[in-house]
Amino acid sequence: MDFDVTGFTGSLGLRGKIGDHVRIGTTVYLPTWITYRGWVTNSFEDFIGPFPDTSLSVQDKVTLPLSLAGGVSLNGDLGLIAFDARWTDWSQIDFEGDVRAPDRTPAYRSTVELHLGGELAVPNTPVWLRAGGMLLPIPYRLIAADTQLVFDEGGDGQPGTGDDVSFVERQYPEADIDQDRWYMTLGLGLAFEDALTLDVAYVWGSWERSSTGSYNPPYGHPTLESVRQNRLAFTAAVNF
């Protein structure tokens, strides 16, 4: 697999102040246009034997929809607290390739992402304490479920002839969102004479999706996607 990917996008924003301690802002994230071109090489073997490798040229153009976001923050002498939300109608996504569904309506949904966070300065120290949370709904409603081997005898009804083809077919039923993506964060910052800052953050979160298994009776089986994530990040900045 070898791909070249190019794309471009943009955003427009506005920020204002209410008094000395409240800031508000809004952002329009313009659509993102992506083009990718490349080659995919497949190798396959079944009960008849190995098949010759096949190379396929792939090209697609994808347009991600625009998003609208807004937020507010409250600043004080010892820290701040901030909240923002971002809406995206992912059903407006556009691309030339296979959507894995009869149309885009069951495949994608609109989402509203929510972010809440704050930081507190520890008096008489260079230490900042941070905490936050995020809700990031899953926009893609389909789930990769069962696969089955499909054997095509080439229309002559005789296995073992040169026009026989085998391929793997996968089911993509609509998923039940049992738990949307959410993350909790804890962080610590150190500032040294306005010249050096060190930051560490720990993030953990999870989500779950599933299918009922009723999409391809009697062969379909329930599929469960359960993800747990733990991340640790360090950053450093030097101010001149």
CB 107 within 8 A of CB 99: yes
Side-chain-facing half-sphere of 2: CA atoms under 13 Å: 5
pLDDT at 51: 63
pLDDT in tens, 162-192: 566 666 777 788 888 899 999 999 999 998 8
pLDDT in tens, 88-128: 999 888 877 655 555 566 788 999 999 999 999 999 889 99
pLDDT in tens, 37-72: 887 776 666 555 566 666 777 788 889 999 999 999
Phi, psi of 61 (to 5 degrees): -120, 125
CB 50 within 8 A of CB 22: no
pLDDT at 43: 67
Q: Which tokens in the block code for residue 153?
A: 């005898």
Global pTM?
0.78
